Structure formats: C-alpha cells, structure tokens
Structure 1
Amino acid sequence: MPTPRGGGVAVVCSYLLALAVLIYSQQLTVHIGLTLMVAGFVIALLGFLDDHGHINSMLRLAIHFLVAIGAVISLGGFAEVTIFNGVQLGFIANIVAVLFLVWLLNLYNFMDGINGIASVEAITTTASMAMLYYLLNTSLNSDLLWLLAACVFGFLLWNFPKAKIFMGDACSGFLGLTLGILALIALKENLALFCAWIICLGVFVVDATYTLIKRVLSGYKMYDAHRSHSYQILSRKWGSHTPVTLAIAAINLLWLFPIAYITTTQQWAYPEFAVLIAYLPLIFLAIKLKAGNPDA
C-alpha cells in the first residue's frame, strides 16, 4: 500500500489556527499574523493542488513571486537594511528579499526527500532561534517559533523513523515560506539575527544551492528531477534515511546553533562573515560527496 502524501496539511491547518488564536488574544500584531496566514495559505493551497494534479511550472513560479512580493510589501520593505557595517542596499534589498523567499520555499521542497528531514530542519531551526530570542531578550515573538516547532513535531511522529505519511508540497512549501518570513521579520530587528537564521538553515541552503548550481553548470535543466543532493547521496551510501536525518539534526545543534549564538551575542561588526564560517564545512562536504553529479 503506497504511503499517503499530503499529511503535512495537518501542520498547515494547526499553525494557521494557532496564528489566529495569537491574533485574537492580542499576542500577535494583526499585520504580521495576516502576512504569515495569507501568504502561507496561498502557497499551501498551491502545493496541495500540485500534489493532487499538475500545475504548470511557470504558473507556479509566478504565483510564488506574487506571494513573496506581497509578503515583502506587507512587512514594510527592507530599503533601510545595511550590510558590511554601513552599505545601504536601498530598493535592491527588497528584490533580494523576494528572491530569498522564493528560493527558500522551493529549496524546502527540493530537500524534502527522505524521512524526517524537512521536519527536523524546521524543528531545530525554530527551536534554536526561539532560544536566541529568549537569551537576547528581543522584542520578537518567540511564540511563533515554538508553535511552529510543536506543529511540525506532531507530524514528525508519523514520518520518522518510518514514514506512515509524507509531507507533500503543500507543507514543504508552506514551511519554506514561513521560515523565510520569520527570518525577514528578524531582519527588521537587526542584521545579526537575520544572519543567525541563515546560519541555522545552512544545511538546506548549502545542499540545495550548491547542487542546483553544479547541475546548471553541467548543462542540466534547473527544474529536472534528480537524486543528487548531498543528503540523497548519503542516504544511499549509508543504506538508510535515519542516520542522515539524525546527522543533520546534530550539525544544526552542535555546529550551526553555536555559531548563530556567538554571532548574535558577541555583536560582531560583520555578522555576514559568520555565515561564511558556518557554511564552509557544508560546502566542502557537498564537494566531497559530488553533489549535483548524477553518477554520485
């Protein structure tokens, strides 16, 4: 009997309900709550329809961009953001923010290929950032993160170590977009917190980005299906999904989170370089595993 797809819809519904409760109880501002709810609902609905049929890839991408643009506008834009201790990006920052959201929601779909991986990434990332919010005593709402972690954990129990249900595009895209919006909300607070988000998401960002670049440079179409991500290669080498998913959890908690913590608590003038430090071993691993190579 085939494993049912689309089980992640429960994550979407439970988190949207949690956001509604936070808004009603005035623990979350209406515009932040509605940004997350409307954008997340549209992407989840699009993914659900794609799970149960087929949506033209260009139409799907166009909707992704429209949703991302709407989210960036709703958040007030990012023209005031400065990088490298003084370089103001102006309107370019808004373009980068849109591209960031579109890429994150798509890469999350690419990386949802073995049992538990997408759930573990979401749980460890949100829990890590919630801890940072608490330790730094920021004005950001950590309830948004703990609630998302709790919703995803409920799904993880059914998807790992043995998958009784699969997440589906409805949930993977929803998670990617939601995590991206939460990261952009942190960018409104300061650049170091945004860099911490990018660091904590490092495994997914590096694997998906490196693999895509390698495949495009090798002459493959960027939208062709394949099984040459680092995590897929490792799962074949190790003969199981479980050790790969657990290894990713370990990397997130023992390597990426400490760097994110140091970056935000030590008030580095150039937190961007911390992202590079965090990513270098991950890039080396992708190269070592020959990610993007169909023969790997």
Structure 2
Amino acid sequence: MHYFLIFVLLFLSELLYFKIANKFNIIDKPNERSSHTRITLRGGGVIFYFGALAYFFFEGLAYPWFMLGLTLITFISFVDDVRPASRGIRLLFHFTALALMFYEWGLFSLSWWTLIVALILCTAIINAYNFMDGINGITGGYSLVVFIALAYINVAMVPFVDSEMIYMVMAAVFVFNYFNFRKKAKCFAGDVGSVSVAFIILFLIGRLIIVTGDFSYIVLLAVYGTDTVLTVIHRLMLHENISLPHRKHLYQIMANELRIPHVVVSVVYMLIQAVIIIGFFVLKEYGYWYLLTILLLLSASYVGFMRRYFKLCGK
C-alpha cells in the first residue's frame, strides 16, 4: 500500500513542478543540435531526486552521505538547467558529491591513486549518462531496465542494498516515463534528471561491486557505455571539440537522420540492454569473458552502423 502512496505523492510532485517550470519559464527550446522540434518543459527528471528523498525520510535517514552528495549534484544540475553555471563550479559540486558517495562506500581507506582513478571513472560515467539524454524515453526507459536488473540481483542473487531504495526510485522513474516516454513529451529530464539518476545508479552498482568484488556487473551499463566511448573516440578522430553539443551518437542518427520515432529508438536501446543483462545472468560464471564479448559485439555493431549511415550527418 505504501508504494501506491509514494507513487501518488511523486506524481503530484511532478505536476507541481510543471506549474513551477511554467511560471519561471524553465523550458527547452529546440535548436540545430536538438533532436526535438517543440518547446518543452525542462527538468522533469528532478522527480528521480524526490524518489530517493522519499526513501531517505521514510526509511530512517538511510545512507546520509550519499543523500547529501545526491542533493549537491542535483542542485547544481538544476541551476545549470535554469541558467548555465561555469564549468569550474559544476566540477566542484560534482567532485564534492562523489567524495561524499565514496565516504558512504567506505573507500577512503584505500590508496590515494585508487581514489583518483575512481573519481575519474565515476565522473566519466555520470557525464556519459548525461550525454545519452537526447530523445524521448531513452533516459527513463534505459534506467528502468537497469533498476529492474538491480532489484532482481538484490533479491535473487546477492543483497547489496535496502530493496526499498530501488523500489522507490523506480516509482519515480515510472512517473517520469508517463510524461516523457511518448511521441510528444510533456517534459524532458534535463541535466537535473540525467545526472541525478546516473548518480543513483552509480551508487547502487558501486555498492554491488564492492560487496561482490566483481567488476563484470558494469555490463549493466554496456549499451550506454559503448555508444558514449566510441562516439567520443570517433569525434576525436574527426578533430572535433568533444565538449561541444552534437548529434552524432548512434541513437541520434537513428532518430534524426533515419527518422525512426524516438520511442522506437528508446525501446531498441532498452531491449538490447535487457537481453544483454539476461544473458549475463545465464552465463554469470563467465562474467568477465561475457562482458568482453558483449563489448566487442557492441563495438563491431557500432562501427558497422557508422560506416553505413554516418555520411547522412554531413559535416
């Protein structure tokens, strides 16, 4: 019963945010780099933070350092949605948030170089998740697949976190998908959504890896990771500034140049990641070999797709 109550409260919170966004003109205007053509409310993904906040208060202030870090990174991302913040300020907030999450993980007993590597990798994962937020349904849909997988692992394979946390954030994902996973989205996630949900997922996968000592669980992000890394490498080969916006991700070419509906592209990404995860569960004893095989197959598919369709992007 309490899950239904949480869902209703989150739904009402999202509707309240829409009123605030309308009043203060927090919108996303399409430009030549956009994959949409309509002015749409931005920042609806703040609901992911509210889902985590609901867990924090309903379950006795659990994981306080993580929650403080999530609050900081959500705050600066929302500010950046409303009025772009300087890169230095964003990095300060991101690094502080990650340091708090590392403290929650118990990493400060490790060597300083391990912490530096962890900081770089975690920053890269959060930014990669943010880069992939460009069409209707992809952030909410892909995140839902990952959360379902994490919930299954937590219950059926190895407990690594309080299940209530996963379920309450999943309720927020369902609310967001209701408004975003459609042909004409009511709202976009914004940086506040993509960054906050990435931070939550990173915290959960990090705890899973720490508990099991098994880094092959990174397969849960294989599709996003491959698309992002290979797109960055491709742009570097083209001598482009990778910090500038673009429309050269594989999913963007599918949606913009091939004119495949956004929702269909998002479903394709969801299904591919879901199949990969199911295969991982079946072949868990070969975890690292399975991960390597999947990354090679995804990379080969990416290269084949780009060889055929990248020319449609023009310069």
TM range (shorter): 0.7 to 0.9
Which of 120, 131, 149 aligns to 2:152? It is 131
Q: Is the 8 A contact 2:144 2:173 kept in 1?
A: yes
List runs of 5+ in structure 1 lacking aligned partners.
25-29, 81-89
* Of 56, 76, 86, the match for 1:56: 86
- SS of alignment partner, residue 234 of structure 1: helix
> Which of 205, 220, 224 is residue 183 of structure 1 equivalent to?
205
Partner of 2:41: 4
Say which SS state the counterpart of residue 71 (structure 1) adopts: helix
Once the two structures are superposed, residues 6-34 of structure 1 have per-residue CA deviations (whole angstroms, 9 ceiling, x without a partner) of: 1112221232122221235xxxxx4xx21
User: What does 1:197-212 align with in structure 2 at a 5 Å threshold?
Assistant: 198-212=218-232
CA deviation profile, 1:45-90 (whole Å, cap 9, x unmatched): 111101111111233123222321232133211777xxxxxxxxx5
* Structure (1 or 2) with the greater helix fraction: 2
1:67 aligns with 2:97: yes
Give the letter for the 1:204 counterpart: Y
Q: Where does the alignment leave 5 or more consecutive residues of structure 2 unmatched?
A: 1-37
- 1:85 — aligned with what? none
Q: Distance in 1 between matches of 2:115 and 2:288?
A: 18
Measure how far apart 1:212 and its partner are. 1.1
Runs ≥4 residues deviating over 6 A: none
Q: For the structure 1 residues 170 and 190, does the alpha-carbon distance in structure 2 shift closer, same or farther, using more than 3 Å as the test?
A: same
The structural deviation recorded for 1:157 is 0.5
Report the CA distance between 1:167 and its aligned residue: 0.8
Between the aligned partners of 1:99 and 1:45, the Cα distance in structure 2 is 21
Aligned counterpart, 2:189? 167
SS at match of 1:54: coil
Pick the aligned partner of 1:157 from 155, 174, 178. 178
Structure-2 separation of matches of 1:137 and 1:185:
11
- Stretch moving more, 46-55 or 5-14: 5-14
1:99 positional shift? 1.7
Cα distance in structure 1, aligned partners of 2:113 and 2:141: 33
- Residue equivalent to 2:29: none
Establish whether residue 234 from structure 1 lines up as the match of residue 248 from structure 2: no
Distance 2:231 2:141 in 1: 21
Q: Percent identity?
A: 25
Distance in 2 of aligned mates of 1:286 and 1:55: 33
Looking at structure 2, the residues matched to 109 and 164 of structure 1 have their Cα atoms a distance apart, in angstroms, of 19
Specify the SS of the correspondent of 2:188. Answer: coil
User: What is the alpha-carbon distance in structure 2 between the residues aligned to residue 154 and residue 221 of structure 1?
Assistant: 36
1:4 is paired with a residue whose SS is strand
Q: Distance in 2 between matches of 1:274 and 1:36?
A: 31
Could you tell me which residue of structure 2 aligns to residue 27 of structure 1? none
Change (3 A) 1:99 1:148: same
Q: Taking structure 1 as the reference length, what is the TM-score of the superposition?
A: 0.84
Give distance in 2, aligned partners of 1:138 and 1:178.
17
Query: Which residue of structure 2 aligns with residue 42 of structure 1?
Result: 72
Could you tell me which amino acid in structure 1 is paired with residue 105 of structure 2? L
1:121–1:201 CA contact under 8 A, matched in 2: no
Deviation, 1:211, is 0.7
Kindly tell me the number of residue pairs found equivalent between the two proteins.
Answer: 273
Aligned 8 A contact 1:259 1:278 in 2 = no
* Aligned equivalent of 1:281, options 297, 305, 308: 297
Report the CA distance shift for 1:263/1:102 in structure 2 as closer, same or farther (over 3 A): farther
Relative to 1, partners in 2 of residues 1:64 and 1:190: Cα closer, same or farther, differing over 3 Å?
same
Mapped contact 2:50–2:172 kept (Cα < 8 A) = no
